[in-house]
Amino acid sequence: MSDTEYQVLARKYRPQTFADLVGQDAMVRTLRNAFERGRIAQAFILTGIRGTGKTTTARIIAKGLNCVGPDGSGGPTTDPCGVCEPCRAIAEGRHVDVLEMDAASHTGVGDIREIIDSVRYRAASARYKIYIIDEVHMLSTSAFNALLKTLEEPPEHVKFIFATTEIRKVPVTVLSRCQRFDLRRIEPETMIAHLSGVAEREGATVAADALALIARAAEGSVRDAMSLMDQAIVSGSGEADAASVRDMLGLADRGRVMDLFEMVMRGDAAGALNELSAQYSEGADPLAILRDMAEIAHWVSVVQITPEAADDPTVAPDERARGQAFAQALPMRALSRMWQMLLKALEEVAAAPSPMMAAEMAVIRLTHVADLPSPDELIRKLRDAPPTGGDAAAPRPAPTNGGGGGATARVRSGGGGAAAHALQPDPEAEASLARFGTFAQVVELIRANRDAKLLFDVETGVRLARYAPGRIEFEPAPGAPSDLAARLAGRLQGWTGARWGVSVVSEGGAPTAEEVRDAARLEAERAALDHPLTQAAMQAFPGAKLVEVRTREAMEADAAGEALEEVEGEWDPFADE
């Protein structure tokens, strides 16, 4: 056979009937029922990723609509005979009544106008005149608009079949006029079985693990898988194993990538760098290595949640066993952190002048954070750590602050914080702090110094968690300024001459002063509205509103104050004498 007669596998084994379609059972079943009952739509739209058979399905539908059978007396069928003149002409792409148009190169309204002008004429030799428009989403807006009326009410002898990989770019006005079929990605099991059958018919020997690599690389596309297997057969002179396919695809050894993954998760930076360098020396692409590591991190995470995911047929048994061991040993937080860092590393490697250098830096970062404790572990360690010396890292109810050189504001949140400076005890400072036994006295100190902004921020933003003279821990209320702890510590040191430790915690705070006042006011208003006299007044005066609630004690205090002012302000007739 000469080179000019060779036909690639993707074309040689292109399905000719619905029975030959791989992995599209739902669509085939629907079309069979439609043909059997004579409920054939005026327009179809086929969507799916590349290589799942959209154009092939369109040609099969066209053959089924125009097939006349071997004896020339047949009607529309889902099993075209393939021997009659319409079937052979459509398969060879030369039928005058089946017009295929690539919308990627014919995007304008002028191209659609030619179709609109030709639909009025009946088919020359076939039962239906069929228009197959591939990549229909590439048509311009004006072209779509020009097609709408004809698409909604085409002549009885006209059928439209559209194919697209970007269904979201097709206007809904077009979608509503078509019967839609979504072609699915081919499952790995189905893909491997199909490739094995093609290899057997070609007389080629392709190892099972090589077929698994090809199926994984194809990502559900039959055409991609056939093209890769064609290349693998040629490169291996009729034989292909996993090593040759891996070299052909530029992939690193999966087992060695898992070794690198294990070293990284163990924190072995030197070993990980040596393994990365060894794989690079053998021709592996650094970007492919990191991509495989990200895939492993994702797969192990999924296996940890759904153990049945380990039964992926594209995964070798030894890889499956190692992945299950990783899923049992590694915490989900570490896997999620590695996934996020690998995504960032992939961007860096793709954009770096030296991909290998970027990959090495990524591996160094990954190994150094692999054994870091999680945020909740950090909080637990900080809370459980015993106090040592004058260290103020752990909050204590007793005073632990010293006086002297500068205010300390330490933030400790859910993600951990910086350790506080060691504070040395100072008798004068402790005496100064002893005057502020409660947090209310601190608030009064702020009010006495007339710092209105700080007073407002404290009353509305401080949910007190723990207080001791010289130490304040609070949970910030929503909207509290981010620098509130530092400002509060600085002001209190300036006013008292002693150092104050002000910390921010993530939970456990009591209501703010404003929230307490609002709660008391709302409770008083609720009680007043429930009183029978108030309800009677509301009924007697529709539209009345409760403006203010004053207690008996407050009214008596106001009356006493007014009476005192009157007595003090009375005129003394002998005052001028």
pLDDT tens sequence across 15-40: 888 888 888 888 888 888 888 888 88
Domain match, 20 and 52 both: yes
Q: Residue 101: which domain range? A: 9-182
Domain limit, last residue, from 136, 158, 182: 182
pLDDT at residue 427 in the model: 62
pLDDT tens sequence across 438-472: 888 888 888 888 888 888 888 888 888 888 888 88
pLDDT at residue 255 in the model: 81
The CATH number for 196's domain is 1.10.8.60
The answer to whether residue 418 scores a pLDDT higher than 50 is no
C-alpha dist (Å) from residue 307 to 158, 265, 319, 320, 525: 51, 21, 14, 11, 57
Domain match, 193 and 262 both: no
Chain-centre distance for alpha carbon 576: 88
Q: Tell me 498's DSSP state.
A: B
C-alpha dist (Å) from residue 276 to 193, 256, 292, 341, 356: 34, 9, 12, 17, 9
Distance CA 453, CA 485 (A): 14
Q: What is the mean pLDDT of the chain?
A: 81
Confidence of residue 553 (pLDDT cuts 50, 70, 90): low
Q: How many CB atoms lie within 10 A of CB 429?
A: 24
Distance CA 191, CA 184 (A): 12
> 215-224, 380-389, 510-519 — which is least confidently predicted?
380-389
Domain match, 525 and 412 both: no
The answer to whether residue 164 scores a pLDDT higher than 90 is yes
In a domain, 3, yes or no: no
pLDDT at residue 476 in the model: 87
pLDDT at residue 145 in the model: 92
pTM passes above 0.95: no
Burial class (CB in 10 A: 0-12, 13-18, 19+), 515: middle
> 136-140, 221-225, 564-568 — which is least confidently predicted?
564-568
In a domain, 395, yes or no: no
Domain match, 479 and 413 both: yes
In a domain, 381, yes or no: no
pLDDT at residue 373 in the model: 65
Helix (H) or strand (E) holding 182: strand 179-182
Distance CA 379, CA 417 (A): 9
In a domain, 229, yes or no: yes
Strands (E), 4-105: 43-47, 98-102
Confidence of residue 428 (pLDDT cuts 50, 70, 90): low
Domain match, 426 and 280 both: no
Give 506-550 as a DSSP string.
SS-PPPPHHHHHHHHHHHHHHHHHHSHHHHHHHHHSTT-------
Domain match, 52 and 133 both: yes
Domain match, 439 and 491 both: yes
> 53-62, 228-237, 247-256, 326-335 — which is least confidently predicted?
247-256
Distance CA 184, CA 181 (A): 9
The answer to whether residue 577 scores a pLDDT higher than 80 is no
pLDDT tens sequence across 509-534: 888 887 777 776 767 767 777 777 77
Q: Which residues contact 219 (CB under 8 A, 6 or more apart)?
A: 49, 185
Beta bridge partners of 132: 100, 161
With a pLDDT cut of 70, the percent of the chain lying above it is 82
Q: Which amino acid is at 422?
A: A
Domain match, 355 and 341 both: yes
Burial class (CB in 10 A: 0-12, 13-18, 19+), 384: exposed
Buried b or exposed e, range 226-239, using 16+ CB within 10 angstroms:
bbbbbbbbeebeee
The crossing angle, in degrees rounded to 10, of helices 317-329 and 254-266 is 10
Q: Which residues contact 366 (CB under 8 A, 6 or more apart)?
A: 264, 272, 338, 341, 342, 345
> 62-71, 380-389, 515-524, 541-550 — which is least confidently predicted?
380-389
User: Is the separation of the CB atoms in 105 and 73 below 8 Å?
Assistant: no
Question: How many domains are contained in the chain?
Answer: 5
Distance CA 428, CA 258 (A): 62
Q: Which residues contact 290 (CB under 8 A, 6 or more apart)?
A: 342, 345, 346, 349, 359, 362
In a domain, 401, yes or no: no
Domain match, 421 and 500 both: yes
